[in-house]
Amino acid sequence: MLNFNSGSGSSNGYIRYMASTASWQTEGEVLQMKQAVYDLKNIKTGWCRIDTGVAPEWEMDKNLETPAAKPEGDNWKRGFKVNIFSKAMFGDDAVKEWGTNSTGATMGIQQLYSDYEEANKGDQLPVVEFAGATPTKIGKGNTNVPIFKITKWVDAPAELTQGSVAASPPAPEPSDDLGDEF
């Protein structure tokens, strides 16, 4: 269970979900999000503050079960960081970090993580398809909650295991069924 109820940067490029339009961007360019491997085994949660014109500030949780204390100051919200792998969408820079504290995105990733935990495929990671978004009223505002579907399970691609901050044994070589799909 991800603890949204109650930092450091990445050397990977980034990906961003735009809830207002239910669309994706990577490093400023519009992206047709299809399917990718989501490294949910190493997802991180924490407190995030996103202010206009500056890089996001993070106070990461010790682990998924132990949330960090809420930092002092305004605009801190629960958020997450997860690495996403797709050579088909991202090319040679095949790993992108998705980190956000937006309400719609956290709702979508919470459902995906619940599906991931329920399936319990050991060390394998899910291949996840972005299947659109559900318009949702939140308080006085609106958002688009991304819909994710796990289409299959694969061994972790080597690119996801290189430089991972989580202490884990080396992953097995990726299976041939990774192909050029994602």
Instruction: Retrieve residue 42's tokens.
Output: 């190493």
Give the Cα-Cα-Cα angle 109, 59, 11 (nearest 5 degrees). Answer: 75
The pLDDT of residue 2: 61
Q: Which of 5-9, 140-144, 153-157 has the lowest mean pLDDT?
A: 5-9
**Over residues 135-140, mean pLDDT:** 93
CA 147 – CA 138 distance, rounded (Å): 17
pLDDT 10s digits, 54-90: 889 999 999 999 999 999 999 999 999 999 999 999 9
- The larger pLDDT score, comparing residue 145 to residue 176, is at 145
pLDDT 10s digits, 98-125: 999 999 999 999 999 999 999 989 999 9
Query: What's the pLDDT band for 27 if we cut at 50, 70, 90?
Result: confident
